[in-house]
Each structure stands twice: as C-alpha cells, then as structure tokens.
Structure 1
Amino acid sequence: MTVAGTVAAPASGLVVHALGGESMGTRWQVSLAAAGAADLHPLHAGIQATLDRVVAQMSSWESGSDLCRYNRAPAGSWQTLPQPFFDVLRASLRVAEASDGACDPTVAPLVDLWGFGPAGGAGRIPEAAAVAAARARVGWQRVTLDGAGQRALQPGGVALDLSGIAKGHGVDAVAAWLRAQGVRAALVEVGGELYGYGRKPDGSPWRVLVEAWPDEGDGGDDRAAVSPCVLALDGRAVATSGDHWHRFAHDGRVFAHSIDPRSGAPVAHAPAAVTVLADDALHADAWATALTVMGAEAGFEFAQARGIAARFVVRAGDRSAADVACHAGAVGGTAVRVHATDSFHAALAG
C-alpha cells in the first residue's frame, strides 16, 4: 500500500513529519503530526525500540527470540511468555479456531519444509512422506495456554510461526506507544500493514491507496489494470496478503508462500491479493492471511457471511461466476477481477 500525500498546516503550528527504518525483514514508516521544530529523535528511537521488542519476542528468524525458545523447549514443559507474545498467540489461536485452521500459528514445520522459512531452500518440492510428517506436528488445538500463569504448553514437536499476525501487532504496538507519548495523530506502516488515528493538521483523515500488489517483482502479465481504491484511516487498520510477494515456479506450476495448514501444501489458485479493513492491524493481518488461504471463492463467502471488510484481487480462472465483481481489467492478456464484501463497500462509502 502507498501512503497518500500529506499536507502541512502552518497556521496550527503542526506539520506532518515522516520517520522510517527497518524491522521484521522489511521497512517501517510513520507519518505523525507534531510541531514543526519538534525533536523527532526520541520518537524515532522509541518506535524502533518498540518494533525491536516484537522481533525479540516473536521472530522465527532470530534464534534467540522467545518464540524460538518455545519451539526448542522439551515436550511437556510449560513456557512462560512475555505478555505481548502471550496475547498475540492467544489471538492467533482464536483466529485459527474461527477460520477452521486456515490461519494456524503452528504451521512452521510446513513453512520450513516448502522453503519459505528461516531454513531457506525455496524452490524445492518435498516428498509426500515429509509433508505427512510435518503435518503431524501442525494443529492449533495442540497448544494449551495458561492465562493465570501467562504460559504455553509445549506438547512436543510444536513450532510456532506468527508471521501472519506479528507485523500487524507491531503496527498496533507502535500506535499505542505514540499515543502514550502524546502524539494525537499518526499513520503507522510496517511492510504494508497500516493503522491510522487522529487527523492531519489540515483536519483531513489519513488516506492510503490500496494496491493489487507492489511495484516490484516479476511484473509483466501479472499486472492488473484496476481502478485505485483509497481508504481513510481514523482508528482503523488495513492489511494485504496474497500470492504475489513470495513464490517459486517448478515444472510449469507456481507455488505461493501461503501454506494451507490443512492440506500441507501451498494454496492452489490463491488470490493475487486480499485486503482486510479492521479495528486493529493484528486482526486485519490475521484475517488477510486466513482469507488468502481459504481461496478466492471460499474466502469471499466466509468474509461476506461474517461481515469482514475484505477486498479480493483475483486472476481470471481463479474465481467462480458467483463471486461479485466490482470491475475487471486486463494487461498483457491476463484478466483480473476485483470484488469486495458488503462491509468493505460500506467502509468506502463511509
């Protein structure tokens, strides 16, 4: 997603400042309203420290993280978790239950097996026996939480992967920290997941452009001639998931990074992009992942039935005629349709 242009309002004494940095293998950006002469160094340092704490607790890529410590813990041991990690894991388990396992925090063995995890090796097709062995270790029901003790049971062989929710939590954590510092209006982005609150100095809301996919990667026939979709964020978050970001080709087939924990394999015919609008970035992130795994048709029907504000970008042939199309386009011979739930349309109208 792209942050729309910001406008300063000198008469109010406030202007929009832009800060940025790196975290979670991607970039973060914060636009915030503050006095023109404000010292931004403490704010920048605080934002980075907030995101660093998320990485230290929930990263699959940092061997010393609390998540990796849990994954290595012996069978039958209770592991005390930092409160934010415990809360994110509990939220992830609730989404896993509600989505019938489409977004499952125990999917790490399958992510690694298909080459999308810290072990690397993307491009390999695992043997059926290896997939079966990994699937035997996956299942959100295997994780037991102790709220009073802020602990999680490691039953043996469970490996967590919170990449489908951690960036969203990071966005929420930064926004909460900025509010605590007295910043009354800000737009926070981490790797395309956003949350905005308050108003810019000119009184207008934070506006973001929802894209089908970023202007990077292979491009070509995969680009869609779709109309711009602009969202106003004031106490709302938006996240996008899809198959365009990480994938590989093998024997003429494309394998996306979105792993279906229920089948043990990458999602077949995944939507090019699924965007979810929610009250917080954690749930926007989690549901964008879950709906992508469900697929264009089942994901749309699920979101529509449950009032989830979701927008799907789907290549021709990857959706049923029953899906509700907003518009269609074609570039280089690849037809693309964009359709959204009633809740998403209502959010645009509002």
Structure 2
Amino acid sequence: MTRVLVPLLAQPPARPIGGAVLALGGRSMGATWSVKLVAPPTASAEALTAMVQRELDTVVAQMSPWEPGSDLSRYNAAAAGTWTALPAAFAQVLACAIDVAERTGGAFDPTLGALVSLWGFGPRPFSGGPPAPAAIAGARATAGWRRLVLDGDRLLQPGGLHLDLNGIAKGFAVDQVAAALDRAGARSYLVEVGGELRGLGAKPDGQPWWVELERPPSADHAPAPRTLVALHGLAVATSGDYRRFFEHDGRRYAHTLDPATAAPVADGAISVTVLDESCMRADAYATALTVMAPDAALAFATDHGLAALILTPGPDGLEERLSPALAAMLDP
C-alpha cells in the first residue's frame, strides 16, 4: 500500500523551462549529502558542489562536538562565568533550540552534551555499556536548557555546561544549502543531508520532487504503508531509535536521550517524522516528539499544528499516529 502527501498550495509549482537535472553529492557531518537541481546547461556541477560543501563545512566548523576547534567545543571548554561570541548562524540555531525547548517543556534540550558523550554517542570513547549511576548524576547536574543565557550573539558559560546540537544542526545545514541554491538562482531542487530533506519546485517533466518518508527496518516485515510526499516548499526530518544504538545485556539503548531521566528514551516511538517549511524546526521537533510518550507527542503535534507521523510497536506490527496537519495533506 502506498499513500501520497501533497502540500496545501494556492497553486502548483511552476514547471521549469529548459535546463537539465544535475545530481551532486559528497560527505559531511558523518553522513552523505546529495543535491538534485534543475540547472541551465552552462551550470558548473563542480562549482555547485564546492558551494554546497562550503555551506556544510561551515556548520561543522561551528557546531560539531567532534571538532576540537569548533565554536561549540570552544564554548564547552570555556571557564565558568565567561561569555563566548557566537557566529550568527550558531546563534540562530541556538535561539531556535531554546525556543523549541521552552515550547516542549524541555523534551528537546540542547545542553545534554556531557550525557550524550557519557552514553557513548559523542566524541569520547565508548565504554561498551551503560555508564555508572554516579557518572550520570554528575553529568546531569551540569545540564539544563534553562541555564542557557543567550544575549544577542553572546552565550554565557555558567560552568560545566556542554552543548550538543546534533538534534537540530543537520536540519539547519539542509536549510543553509537550500538558501545557497536560492542565491545561486536555482528554483527547483531537492537537498538531502543524512536523511533530512528539503525540496522546492518541480522537475522538467512537471513532476514534483517525490520522496518516500523514512521507515524503520522493521517496517519491511510489517503492514505499514509506504508514504510519498511532494516536497515543494517543505522539509522533512525523521528521528528513529534504529539509527544509532548499542545493545547491552539484551537491551537496546538508542541515541536519543530523555532529559527527564538522563538516559536513552525507553518505550517510546520507534520513529517520528515531522514536515515543516524549516528543516531546522522539523529536526528539533522530531527529536522532541521522540522523547515524549506517543500519545503526548500526538497531542503536542495536534495543539501546535505540526505535521507529524509517529510510529510505535503494536501487537500486529507497527501502529501509526497521524497528526491532523499531516492527515490534511493526504491525497484523496
């Protein structure tokens, strides 16, 4: 079974006149990236590839916890009571992260860097199993999004606070690439970075950029429908417990941490997909809804007009929860 989601548009995207579809690609942020765009015959694939790579490299240089010289690492190592000047893009991402943290009651928290590393999902070497309770308590004591004090482009280090923006930075990178393509004159493209996507316009044959929403591996053996979406003026981000995890004593520990427990989310959704005009917001909200209990996640998405697809395990396979905003996009 396949169903189709179509954005609610006043008019369909204009069909490009002339041009060919260029396919670009590379690696960044520990993943691959790809761009497809309608470009005139004179366009240089090499120049466009370099432009995209520069945008992604800038995000890494500012927000990667794996880069010792990044602005994020510099802040994490700063002394208590000092202020760090942030690049404009970094400040923009952090302001959005704080906003989502506030709206979700802390389900999204960009200050879990020490805990993320402690659980083996950050730059420090993995111990092979869950950390000791005392270590968790120590890392938890330094976290908390309410400790963040952002004054314009300056960020206060209250002491021991470690940022982790992996739940939002990849989506922001997608938006940055799309903005660079806009500045370059592209009016029809599909951007993908590590599974997060954003599209605009139509292909030369008049078809939109169709993409299939990510499904967990277990969906291949369960009666869950395939979902295609026409990405015009939309971005899509997915958070899933199958993306990064480790197993210990018969239990699986996924990379998404619950700020309330300082541990990987337990008994939550297998996968959450969010569609939004901004991939940055979609990325952050997908993470937050994964942390919430599935029913609470659906209620939040309904109350806030988020287009969300929530997949949970059920007795007969995967169970779906579609928010009203997503259901309204279903093509009859």
TM-score, structure 1 normalization = 0.87
* CA shift for structure 1 position 34: 0.8
Aligned to 1:265: 263
Structure 1: gaps of 5 or more residues: 1-10, 214-218, 318-333
Q: Which residue of 2 aligns with 1:3?
A: none
Which one of the candidate residues 49, 53, 57 is aligned to 1:48? 53
User: Which stretch has the larger CA shift, 279-288 or 222-231?
Assistant: 222-231
Which residue of the other structure, out of 222, 226, 231, is the alignment partner of 1:228?
A: 226
Distance change (3 Å), C-alpha of 1:299 and 1:255: same
Matched, 1:210 2:216: no
Q: Report the counterpart of residue 78 of structure 1 in structure 2.
A: 83
Given that residues 211 and 230 in structure 2 are in contact (C-alpha distance below 8 angstroms), is that contact kept between their aligned partners in structure 1?
Answer: yes
Q: Is the 8 A contact 2:219 2:318 kept in 1?
A: no
1:126 aligns with 131
After superposition, the Cα gap between the structure-2 partners of 1:123 and 1:85, relative to the gap in structure 1 and judged at 3 Å, is same
Task: Report whether the alignment pairs 1:346 with 2:328.
Answer: yes
Is 2:152 aligned against 1:154? Answer: no
Runs of 4 or more consecutive aligned structure 1 residues displaced over 4 Å after TM superposition: 219-223
8 Å CA contact 1:16, 1:32 repeated in 2: yes
| Structure-2 separation of matches of 1:198 and 1:122 | 47
2:230 counterpart SS class: strand
- Residues 32-61 of structure 1: CA deviation (Å, up to 9, x unaligned): 001245321111100000100000000011
- Answering whether residue 74 of structure 2 is matched by residue 69 of structure 1, we say yes
Match of 2:148 in 1: 143
SS for the counterpart of 2:330 is helix
After TM superposition, the structure 1 = structure 2 runs for residues 1-350 of structure 1, keeping only pairs within 5 Å, are 12-121=17-126, 123-147=128-152, 150-213=153-216, 223-316=221-314, 335-349=317-331
Deviations 1:166-214 (A, max 9, x none): 000000000001100111111101011111112222222211101213x
Q: Quick one: structure 1 residues 122 and 186, their matched pair in 2 at CA, closer, same or farther if it must change by over 3 Å? A: farther
* 1:260 counterpart letter in structure 2: D
User: How far, CA to CA, are the matches of 1:310 and 1:220 in structure 2?
Assistant: 19
Following superposition, the deviation at residue 129 of structure 1 comes to: 1.4
Q: CA deviation at 1:122?
A: 5.9
Unaligned runs of 5+ in 2: 1-15
SS in 1 for 2:300: helix
Moved more, 193-202 or 21-30: 193-202
CA contact (8 A) 1:231 1:348 kept: no
Q: Aligned residues: percent identity?
A: 50
RMSD over equivalenced CA pairs, Å: 1.8
Distance in 1, Cα, partners of 2:127 & 2:108: 21
C-alpha displacement of 1:99: 0.8
Deviation at 1:223, TM superposition (A): 4.4
Q: Deviations over 1:216-249 (max 9, x none)?
A: xxx5798433211011111111000010111122
Would the alpha carbon gap of residues 105 and 200 (structure 1) be closer, same or farther in structure 2, given more than 3 Å must change?
same
CA distance in 2 between partners of 1:80 and 1:113 (Å) = 27
The equivalent of 2:4 in structure 1 is none
- How many residue pairs get aligned? The number is 318
Paired residue type of 1:273: S
C-alpha distance 199-30 of structure 1, shift in aligned 2 (>3 A) = same
Q: In 1, Cα distance between the equivalents of 2:71 and 2:223?
A: 43
Structure number with higher relative contact order (C-alpha < 8 Å, ≥ 6 residues apart): 2
Deviation of 1:348 after TM superposition, in Å, equals 2.9
2: CA distance between counterparts of 1:120 and 1:285?
26
